[in-house]
Structure 1
Protein backbone atom coordinates (compact mmCIF):
# COMPACT_ATOMS: atom_id res chain seq x y z
CA UNK A 1 0.00 0.00 0.00
CA UNK A 2 2.83 2.38 -0.74
CA UNK A 3 0.56 4.63 -2.82
CA UNK A 4 -2.37 4.48 -0.41
CA UNK A 5 -2.94 7.09 2.28
CA UNK A 6 -5.00 6.73 5.42
CA UNK A 7 -7.63 9.44 5.87
CA UNK A 8 -8.61 10.64 9.32
CA UNK A 9 -10.95 13.42 10.43
CA UNK A 10 -12.49 14.45 13.74
CA UNK A 11 -15.66 15.23 11.75
CA UNK A 12 -16.51 11.53 11.41
CA UNK A 13 -16.74 8.88 14.13
CA UNK A 14 -13.63 6.92 15.00
CA UNK A 15 -13.08 3.87 17.14
CA UNK A 16 -10.22 1.81 18.50
CA UNK A 17 -11.01 -0.89 15.93
CA UNK A 18 -8.32 -1.74 13.37
CA UNK A 19 -9.59 0.12 10.31
CA UNK A 20 -9.17 3.50 8.65
CA UNK A 21 -12.00 5.99 8.22
CA UNK A 22 -10.96 6.09 4.59
CA UNK A 23 -8.11 5.03 2.35
CA UNK A 24 -7.10 7.18 -0.62
CA UNK A 25 -5.43 5.10 -3.33
CA UNK A 26 -4.75 6.77 -6.66
CA UNK A 27 -7.90 8.59 -7.76
CA UNK A 28 -10.12 6.49 -5.52
CA UNK A 29 -11.21 6.96 -1.93
CA UNK A 30 -12.64 3.98 -0.05
CA UNK A 31 -14.79 5.11 2.88
CA UNK A 32 -15.39 2.68 5.74
CA UNK A 33 -18.90 1.83 6.84
CA UNK A 34 -20.62 4.35 9.09
CA UNK A 35 -23.72 4.18 11.18
CA UNK A 36 -25.68 7.15 12.50
CA UNK A 37 -23.08 8.07 15.11
CA UNK A 38 -22.40 11.66 16.14
CA UNK A 39 -18.61 12.16 15.95
CA UNK A 40 -18.66 14.66 18.84
CA UNK A 41 -20.41 12.38 21.34
CA UNK A 42 -19.73 8.91 19.95
CA UNK A 43 -23.42 8.16 20.47
CA UNK A 44 -26.06 7.01 17.99
CA UNK A 45 -28.23 9.96 17.03
CA UNK A 46 -31.82 10.03 18.18
CA UNK A 47 -34.59 10.27 15.67
CA UNK A 48 -36.29 8.39 12.92
CA UNK A 49 -34.57 6.41 10.18
CA UNK A 50 -34.50 9.48 7.89
CA UNK A 51 -32.53 11.57 10.38
CA UNK A 52 -30.25 8.61 11.05
CA UNK A 53 -29.67 8.27 7.29
CA UNK A 54 -28.73 11.95 7.15
CA UNK A 55 -26.15 11.45 9.93
CA UNK A 56 -24.66 8.45 8.11
CA UNK A 57 -24.29 10.53 4.95
CA UNK A 58 -22.78 13.42 6.93
CA UNK A 59 -20.14 10.99 8.22
CA UNK A 60 -19.35 9.71 4.72
CA UNK A 61 -19.18 13.27 3.36
CA UNK A 62 -16.77 14.32 6.14
CA UNK A 63 -14.27 11.64 5.13
CA UNK A 64 -14.54 12.60 1.45
CA UNK A 65 -14.02 16.26 2.37
CA UNK A 66 -10.96 15.42 4.46
CA UNK A 67 -9.45 13.58 1.49
CA UNK A 68 -9.78 16.73 -0.60
CA UNK A 69 -13.04 15.84 -2.27
CA UNK A 70 -16.37 17.58 -2.56
CA UNK A 71 -18.46 15.61 -0.08
CA UNK A 72 -21.23 13.48 -1.49
CA UNK A 73 -20.77 15.03 -4.96
CA UNK A 74 -17.69 12.83 -5.44
CA UNK A 75 -19.31 9.58 -4.28
CA UNK A 76 -19.69 7.07 -7.12
CA UNK A 77 -20.75 3.91 -5.25
CA UNK A 78 -22.58 3.27 -1.98
CA UNK A 79 -23.54 0.10 -0.15
CA UNK A 80 -26.49 0.50 2.21
CA UNK A 81 -27.00 -2.00 5.03
CA UNK A 82 -30.40 -2.08 6.74
CA UNK A 83 -31.49 -4.28 9.61
CA UNK A 84 -35.10 -4.02 8.42
CA UNK A 85 -36.08 -3.66 4.77
CA UNK A 86 -39.32 -2.06 6.00
CA UNK A 87 -37.12 1.06 6.37
CA UNK A 88 -36.13 0.96 2.69
CA UNK A 89 -38.58 3.59 1.40
CA UNK A 90 -37.82 6.10 4.16
CA UNK A 91 -34.06 5.58 3.79
CA UNK A 92 -34.39 5.88 0.02
CA UNK A 93 -36.25 9.20 0.35
CA UNK A 94 -33.66 10.70 2.72
CA UNK A 95 -30.80 9.31 0.62
CA UNK A 96 -32.25 10.64 -2.63
CA UNK A 97 -32.60 14.13 -1.17
CA UNK A 98 -28.84 14.26 -0.53
CA UNK A 99 -27.63 13.43 -4.06
CA UNK A 100 -27.99 15.39 -7.30
CA UNK A 101 -29.39 14.36 -10.66
CA UNK A 102 -26.78 11.64 -11.11
CA UNK A 103 -26.80 9.63 -7.88
CA UNK A 104 -24.07 7.07 -7.28
CA UNK A 105 -24.40 3.40 -8.09
CA UNK A 106 -25.81 1.59 -5.08
CA UNK A 107 -26.45 -1.74 -3.45
CA UNK A 108 -28.86 -2.21 -0.55
CA UNK A 109 -28.83 -5.33 1.59
CA UNK A 110 -30.60 -6.43 4.73
CA UNK A 111 -28.26 -7.42 7.56
CA UNK A 112 -29.28 -9.42 10.60
CA UNK A 113 -27.46 -7.02 12.91
CA UNK A 114 -25.13 -4.03 12.66
CA UNK A 115 -22.55 -2.80 15.20
CA UNK A 116 -24.06 -0.93 18.16
CA UNK A 117 -27.48 -2.23 17.03
CA UNK A 118 -27.93 0.66 14.58
CA UNK A 119 -30.58 0.31 11.87
CA UNK A 120 -28.57 1.70 8.94
CA UNK A 121 -24.93 1.73 7.87
CA UNK A 122 -23.27 2.76 4.61
CA UNK A 123 -19.84 2.53 3.06
CA UNK A 124 -18.81 4.37 -0.09
CA UNK A 125 -16.33 4.76 -2.90
CA UNK A 126 -15.50 8.24 -4.18
CA UNK A 127 -13.61 9.37 -7.28
CA UNK A 128 -11.11 12.10 -6.46
CA UNK A 129 -9.34 12.32 -9.80
CA UNK A 130 -9.81 16.06 -9.89
CA UNK A 131 -8.38 16.65 -6.40
CA UNK A 132 -4.77 17.07 -5.31
CA UNK A 133 -5.05 15.26 -1.96
Structure 2
Protein backbone atom coordinates (compact mmCIF):
# COMPACT_ATOMS: atom_id res chain seq x y z
CA UNK A 1 0.00 0.00 0.00
CA UNK A 2 1.24 3.45 -0.88
CA UNK A 3 1.30 6.21 1.71
CA UNK A 4 -1.56 8.66 1.74
CA UNK A 5 -1.03 11.69 -0.48
CA UNK A 6 -1.14 15.14 1.06
CA UNK A 7 -1.89 18.37 -0.70
CA UNK A 8 0.65 21.09 0.05
CA UNK A 9 -0.15 24.73 -0.60
CA UNK A 10 1.67 27.97 -0.05
CA UNK A 11 0.42 30.40 2.60
CA UNK A 12 -0.18 32.90 -0.24
CA UNK A 13 -2.41 30.37 -1.98
CA UNK A 14 -4.47 29.90 1.17
CA UNK A 15 -4.80 33.69 1.58
CA UNK A 16 -5.85 34.10 -2.06
CA UNK A 17 -8.41 31.31 -1.80
CA UNK A 18 -9.81 32.74 1.46
CA UNK A 19 -10.16 36.16 -0.18
CA UNK A 20 -12.61 34.77 -2.72
CA UNK A 21 -13.69 36.35 -5.96
CA UNK A 22 -13.84 40.10 -5.60
CA UNK A 23 -14.42 42.43 -8.51
CA UNK A 24 -11.23 43.92 -9.86
CA UNK A 25 -10.68 47.47 -8.66
CA UNK A 26 -7.95 48.19 -11.18
CA UNK A 27 -9.96 48.07 -14.40
CA UNK A 28 -9.37 50.82 -16.92
CA UNK A 29 -12.17 53.30 -17.58
CA UNK A 30 -14.39 52.72 -20.58
CA UNK A 31 -13.09 54.76 -23.50
CA UNK A 32 -15.25 57.44 -25.04
CA UNK A 33 -16.64 57.40 -28.55
CA UNK A 34 -14.12 56.62 -31.26
CA UNK A 35 -13.68 58.42 -34.54
CA UNK A 36 -13.46 55.36 -36.79
CA UNK A 37 -12.22 57.28 -39.82
CA UNK A 38 -9.33 58.80 -37.85
CA UNK A 39 -8.53 55.40 -36.37
CA UNK A 40 -8.55 53.85 -39.85
CA UNK A 41 -6.18 56.56 -41.15
CA UNK A 42 -3.84 56.03 -38.21
CA UNK A 43 -3.89 52.27 -38.76
CA UNK A 44 -3.04 52.64 -42.45
CA UNK A 45 -0.23 55.11 -41.72
CA UNK A 46 1.28 52.79 -39.12
CA UNK A 47 0.93 49.84 -41.49
CA UNK A 48 2.81 51.81 -44.19
CA UNK A 49 5.57 52.50 -41.68
CA UNK A 50 5.73 48.81 -40.74
CA UNK A 51 5.84 47.69 -44.39
CA UNK A 52 8.63 50.20 -45.08
CA UNK A 53 10.58 48.88 -42.07
CA UNK A 54 10.16 45.25 -43.13
CA UNK A 55 11.27 46.15 -46.67
CA UNK A 56 14.40 47.86 -45.32
CA UNK A 57 15.08 44.90 -43.04
CA UNK A 58 14.75 42.53 -45.99
CA UNK A 59 17.11 44.63 -48.10
CA UNK A 60 19.58 44.80 -45.23
CA UNK A 61 19.63 41.08 -44.45
CA UNK A 62 19.48 39.82 -48.02
CA UNK A 63 21.89 42.56 -49.09
CA UNK A 64 24.52 41.39 -46.63
CA UNK A 65 24.00 37.78 -47.70
CA UNK A 66 24.10 38.83 -51.35
CA UNK A 67 27.30 40.77 -50.78
CA UNK A 68 28.94 37.67 -49.33
CA UNK A 69 27.76 35.63 -52.32
CA UNK A 70 28.83 38.28 -54.84
CA UNK A 71 32.18 38.94 -53.22
CA UNK A 72 33.55 35.64 -51.86
CA UNK A 73 36.81 37.42 -51.08
CA UNK A 74 35.07 38.76 -47.93
CA UNK A 75 35.25 35.23 -46.56
CA UNK A 76 38.99 35.05 -47.17
CA UNK A 77 39.98 38.44 -45.73
CA UNK A 78 40.89 38.04 -42.07
CA UNK A 79 41.14 40.57 -39.26
CA UNK A 80 42.80 39.21 -36.15
CA UNK A 81 42.46 35.67 -37.51
CA UNK A 82 38.69 35.98 -37.94
CA UNK A 83 37.10 36.13 -41.41
CA UNK A 84 35.71 39.57 -42.28
CA UNK A 85 32.35 38.03 -43.21
CA UNK A 86 31.99 36.64 -39.69
CA UNK A 87 32.87 39.99 -38.15
CA UNK A 88 30.31 41.75 -40.33
CA UNK A 89 27.62 39.25 -39.36
CA UNK A 90 28.54 39.11 -35.67
CA UNK A 91 29.25 42.77 -34.96
CA UNK A 92 28.43 44.89 -37.98
CA UNK A 93 24.81 43.96 -38.54
CA UNK A 94 23.53 44.60 -35.00
CA UNK A 95 24.13 48.37 -34.94
CA UNK A 96 22.29 48.56 -38.26
CA UNK A 97 19.38 46.52 -36.86
CA UNK A 98 19.30 48.73 -33.77
CA UNK A 99 19.27 51.83 -35.94
CA UNK A 100 16.45 50.42 -38.05
CA UNK A 101 14.42 49.58 -34.93
CA UNK A 102 15.01 53.05 -33.52
CA UNK A 103 13.97 54.63 -36.81
CA UNK A 104 10.80 52.52 -36.88
CA UNK A 105 9.78 53.45 -33.33
CA UNK A 106 10.36 57.14 -33.96
CA UNK A 107 8.42 56.98 -37.23
CA UNK A 108 5.48 55.25 -35.54
CA UNK A 109 5.49 57.81 -32.73
CA UNK A 110 5.62 60.65 -35.27
CA UNK A 111 2.57 59.21 -37.03
CA UNK A 112 0.71 58.98 -33.70
CA UNK A 113 1.60 62.56 -32.75
CA UNK A 114 0.44 63.80 -36.15
CA UNK A 115 -2.84 61.90 -35.75
CA UNK A 116 -3.32 63.33 -32.26
CA UNK A 117 -2.79 66.89 -33.57
CA UNK A 118 -5.28 66.37 -36.40
CA UNK A 119 -7.94 64.73 -34.22
CA UNK A 120 -10.61 67.08 -32.86
CA UNK A 121 -10.58 67.43 -29.11
CA UNK A 122 -13.32 65.47 -27.36
CA UNK A 123 -14.12 68.11 -24.79
CA UNK A 124 -14.82 70.75 -27.43
CA UNK A 125 -18.15 70.98 -29.17
CA UNK A 126 -17.47 70.87 -32.94
CA UNK A 127 -20.49 73.10 -33.62
CA UNK A 128 -19.44 75.81 -31.17
CA UNK A 129 -17.12 78.57 -32.38
CA UNK A 130 -14.87 80.63 -30.17
> TM-score w.r.t. structure 1 length?
0.26
Bigger radius of gyration: 2
**Which structure has greater helix proportion?**
2
**Which structure has greater strand proportion?**
1
Q: Which has the higher contact order (CA 8 A, sep 6+)?
A: 1
